[in-house]
A = this chain, B = another copy of it.
Amino acid sequence: MILELINIGDELLIGQTINTNASWIGQFLSQRGVRVSKAVTIQDEKEDILRQLEDCLSRADVVLITGGLGPTKDDITKETLCEFFGGKLEMHDETLQRITEYFESKGRPMLESNVNQAMLPNVCEILPNYNGTAPGMWFEKDDKVVVSLPGVPYEMKPLISEGVFPRLNERYQFADIYQSSIMTTGIGESFLAEKIKNWEDKLRSDELSLAYLPSPGIVRLRVTSYKGENDKEKVEQYMNTLKELVGDYYYGEENESLALVVGKLLAEQKRTIGTVESCTSGGIAAEITKIPGASSYFEGSYVTYSNRLKNEKVGVPYEVLETQGAVSQECVELMAVNGRESLGTDFCLASSGIAGPDGGTSEKPVGTVWIAVAFKEGVFSKKFMFGNDRERNTKMSVLSALNMLRLLLLGRLDN
């Protein structure tokens, strides 16, 4: 079964709206063993819609369409599909009643243009929309299926999950898929690939597939079986071997963030954390507290952006700031050690670096960042070299700091 997606909307092509519908549908379906093999975004133009539909139907068994069903004049999908399938628009009483009730429930008047939304092609099955005015439309022709859905995400999503997917599954009985992922950090995609090469070859020869899913500082590794739960044990055995191979770069399951994993470790070990931040400027603290309940282990921070505050708040001597500079091992270790004491926490993370775009030297180029973590018995620090992008440098610094704390909490910081 081949499935293609058409998203209709000028606002998508001019970048006013990011096409989150395509990614949501892709994720929803791929997790259920269905692949979107192509996704096309086109304008609200009759000729474009007709041409694209013909093109998709030349390959696909199922074409999903979103958008262009609003009450305004520039939305022409319904009329175009009606013509394509050789039908006529007729008043659909059930839909009219639903639209009427919808406006009554909101206490808003119903316009003529909304009444017209109940005029529907007489050659499709109507999929009721409980969250808006435009229903879904299910067309069939020559054993192929075309489904048209509204583009508003919270109207489209339940129509897919409760209307479209169950019908497709009944028709095609999709292969049951089983997936398992692990999260890695501190290692790039190509180094990871080198490290697990033999394992990956064996996996593939065993009819399983592997995806590398990278985002800044993180690579997620996902194994897929198309035999569903039957393969669960086999897949999990591979995952266990993978975790061993990846070693300390492996930090969590599925979509877990580093902040979540570190937070769980802190809560389990009943330890507290604080931060003293320069280049990350509160970013580590903000990341830690994205996790609800972080107050049980996170106490607070100093942001010591200026040298004066590095001196006044966490006692970095001016001599160090002048001779070694703020971006130095000595400075960041003092920030961590003194910050830990002053904040009264079990651990303290500290950052000092050159985020850019200015301030770099040949000795300390933009992207040079020192991270330290202080603990009862001492302090550990490490120099990183990121790149030229200020935003990315900050993000990488935050992740590297959290990863350093994770390794410390696991007793593996030397690795």
Contact = CB atoms under 8 A, between A and B. Distances in A.
A288 to B, nearest CB: 7
A113 interface: yes
Interface string A262-304: 0000000000000101001111111011101111001111111
A113 B197 CA distance: 13
A38 B48 contact: yes
A66 B283 CA distance: 31
B286 A281 contact: yes
Contacts of A19: 18-19, 22-23
A254 to B, nearest CB: 12
A355 to B, nearest CB: 8
A53 to B, nearest CB: 13
Contacts of A309: 299-300, 343
Interface stretch (A26-34, A121-129, A372-380): A26-34
Interface in A145-195: 154, 189-191, 193-194
A284 B282 contact: yes
A237 interface: no
Contacts of A17: 23, 213, 215
Interface stretch (A239-247, A382-390, A404-412): A382-390
B72 A189 contact: yes
24 contacts: A12-B22, A12-B23, A13-B26, A13-B39, A14-B26, A14-B36, A15-B25, A15-B27, A17-B215, A19-B22, A37-B42, A37-B48, A40-B40, A72-B189, A106-B387, A131-B387, A131-B388, A280-B286, A281-B288, A281-B289, A289-B305, A289-B355, A301-B302, A302-B302
A136 interface: no
A224 B107 CA distance: 35
A36 B344 CA distance: 56
A235 to B, nearest CB: 17
Interface of A: 10-20, 22-28, 30, 35-43, 48, 52, 55, 70-72, 105-107, 111, 113-114, 131, 154, 189-191, 193-194, 211-213, 215, 220, 275, 277, 280-286, 288-290, 292-295, 298-306, 308-309, 312-313, 343-344, 355-358, 365, 385-392, 394
A9 to B, nearest CB: 11
A18 B343 CA distance: 40
